[in-house]
Amino acid sequence: MKKTLKIFKWTAIILGSLLAATFIFIQLTWNKKFTAPYPDIKASKDSTVIARGKYLAFGPAHCATCHVPMDKIMAVENGLEIPLSGGWELEFPGFGNFRAPNLTPDTETGIGKLTDADLARSIRHSVGSDGRLIFPFMSFQEMSDEDLTAVISFLRSQEPVSHLVPRTEYGLLGKALVAFGLLKPEGPKNTPQKAVVRDSIAEYGKYLTYHVANCRGCHTEMDVNTGQYIGADFSGGTLFEPDAFSNGYSHMSPNLTPDPNTGVITKWSEDQFLTRFTTGRIHEGSPMPWGAFSNMDSTDLKAIYRYLHSLQPVERKVAQTVIPPVEK
Ligand code: HEC
Ligand code: HEC
């Protein structure tokens, strides 16, 4: 009996010390400084370039659905065009409280003091100007030089708005992921193209769905703990838990591959697809930025439709995409 107690005591002491050591290690090392190359991107004052950037920000790349104050998100989704003064916030309990910063040229609270290369590096390599990790909410690593230039030129052209958005704060789990190297900045896998031909062809659709509009990110099942994709691309199945806009509803992304039994757009004509997008939001709380996407032009939409229809069909039934709250 005495012996068992002794073993128990020592096990507790050793486990306790290990836990304490792990805790101290996490606290000391999570706030790492990362490095990444600075892309050779320079903002332009050319009005055509700025207009392209604005189109991307309020349309396919939907920067404006995150980088505006929380109480303006839905108004922007419904067509209001305001400077991107930041404020969207999402809390993953334990992992952290993530906040989209002010992207107007204000020098104190916005991007006024950041260089074009700083901004391009944050967007392309997920490393902030101070070396911090930029959490992977954005999927623009392989956005073309031309489009990245356009977006940054547009950001610079906005009127400065003084709006202090506190930095993202990590919880213990989030810090642990960074400390142990499980979460690190994501850069491009392939060298980004200088420019992409904008035509209603599948190739351009592929570029948009992967590197601009993030259709792939939401419509491919992801392991929420590791951030790794575990489903076949575009076969759906990502669960979106209720958030500030969903009124208790959860959502699940449908299968976009042209599977005859389980693909949602398999039987849609190109015209039906275009109409669905120009109609905009149908389900009030859907996480999909339908409002921003309703600003997409027909070249972009046709390109996306043609690309999705060129995919290998994957049979995967997503039973319910709009899931009502469970009655208590
Ligand atoms: C899904 C929401 C979302 C979308 C869409 C989005 N962002 Fe972000 N962005 C964020 C969040 C959240 C952060 C902060 C991440 C962090 O703190 O680690 C961020 C950070 C940034 C930063 C880093 C700023 C700094 O202080 O270094 C830049 C630059 C940026 N976003 C630009 C853009 C641009 C340009 C677009 C559109 C092309 C865009 N974002 C689209 C959510 C989003
Ligand atoms: C932030 C996550 C997110 C992004 C980004 C996103 N989707 Fe979705 N999508 C969803 C969810 C969730 C649903 C189910 C709820 C709904 O229908 O709104 C959905 C539904 C759909 C539907 C079915 C609509 C219907 O009427 O049945 C289509 C088609 C679709 N998405 C295509 C796309 C395309 C194409 C893109 C890129 C241009 C895209 N999605 C980007 C999450 C997303």
Question: Is there a single domain that holds both residue 118 and residue 66?
Answer: yes
| C-beta 68 within 6 A of ligand 2 | no
Q: To the nearest whole percent, how much of the chain has pLDDT over 70?
A: 99
Smallest CA separation from ligand 1 atom 25, residue: 128
How far apart (Å, rounded) are the C-alpha atoms in residues 98 and 100?
Answer: 7
Asked if residue 248 belongs to a domain, the reply is yes
**Which of 92-101, 204-213, 261-270 has the least mean pLDDT?**
92-101
80 domain residue, yes or no: yes
CA of 43 to the centre of ligand 2 (A): 32
Instruction: Examine the domain organization and report whether 214 and 316 are in the same domain.
Output: yes
Residues 53, 175: one domain?
yes
Residue 171, in any domain of the structure:
yes
183 CB within 6 A, ligand 1: no
The total number of residues shown for the chain amounts to 328
What whole-number distance in Å separates Cα of residue 219 and Cα of residue 287?
Answer: 12
Question: How sure is the predictor about 328, in pLDDT bands with cuts at 50, 70 and 90?
Answer: low
Residue 28 lies in a domain: no
**What's the pTM?**
0.95
Residues 52 and 165 in one domain: yes
Structure confidence at residue 1 as a pLDDT band (50, 70, 90): low
- Which one, of 197, 189, 205, 200, lies nearest residue 256 by Cα? 205
Q: What percent of the chain has pLDDT over 90?
A: 91
Are 267 and 160 members of one domain?
Answer: no
Q: Are residues 167 and 51 in the same domain?
A: yes
Task: State which of 179, 214, 239 marks the end of a domain.
Answer: 179
Does one domain contain both 302 and 249? Answer: yes
- 160 inside domain: yes
Which has more pLDDT, 328 or 267?
267
Higher-pLDDT residue of 1 and 153 is 153
> 69 and 174 in one domain?
yes
User: Measured between alpha carbons, how far is 144 from 124 in angstroms, rounded to an integer?
Assistant: 10
Q: 254 CB under 6 A from ligand 2?
A: yes
Best CA proximity match to 265, nearest among 217, 318, 223: 318
98: Cβ contacts below 8 Å, ≥ 6 apart? 89, 90, 91, 92, 135, 137, 168
Residues 263 and 140 in one domain: no
Ligand nearest to the CA of 97: 1
Domain count, the chain: 2
- What backbone phi and psi angles, to 5 degrees, belong to 55? -60, -45
- Residue 42: the pLDDT is 98
Residue 107 is predicted with a pLDDT of 98
Query: What atom in ligand 1 is closest to the CA of residue 212?
Result: 38
The Cβ of residue 132 has, within 10 Å, a number of other Cβ atoms equal to 18
- Mutational test site, ligand 1, from 114, 130, 138, 142, max ligand atoms within 8 Å of CB: 138
Of 6 and 261, the structure prediction assigns the larger pLDDT to: 261
Q: Which two tokens stand for residue 260?
A: 């005859």
Q: What is the DSSP string of 247-296?
A: TT-EEEPPP-S--TTT-SSTT--HHHHHHHHHH--SSTT-SS-HHHHTT-
Greatest extent of the chain over all pairs of C-alpha atoms, in Å: 83
pLDDT tens by residue, 17-46? 999 999 999 998 888 899 999 999 999 999
User: Which of ligand 1's atoms lies nearest the C-alpha of 134?
Assistant: 18
**Claim to verify: residue 300 and residue 212 sit in the same structural domain:** yes
Ligand 1 within 6 A of 66 CB?
yes
Ligand 1, residues 31, 63, 65: which to mutate, most atoms within 8 A of Cβ? 63
Asked which of 179, 213, 243 is the last residue of a domain, the reply is: 179
Contacts of 132 (CB under 8 A, 6+ apart): 31, 33, 34
- Structural domain contains residue 310: yes
CA 161 to centroid of ligand 1, rounded, Å: 17
* Res 77: pLDDT: 94
Same domain flag for 174 and 267: no
Position 185 in a domain = no
What residues make up the domain containing 83?
47-179
Going from the Cα of 119 to the center of ligand 1, the distance in angstroms, rounded, reads 10
Are residues 247 and 143 located together in one domain of the fold?
no
Q: Is residue 22 part of a domain?
A: no
Mean pLDDT, the chain, whole residue set: 95
At 173-219, the pLDDT tens digits run 999 999 999 899 999 999 999 999 999 999 999 999 999 999 999 99
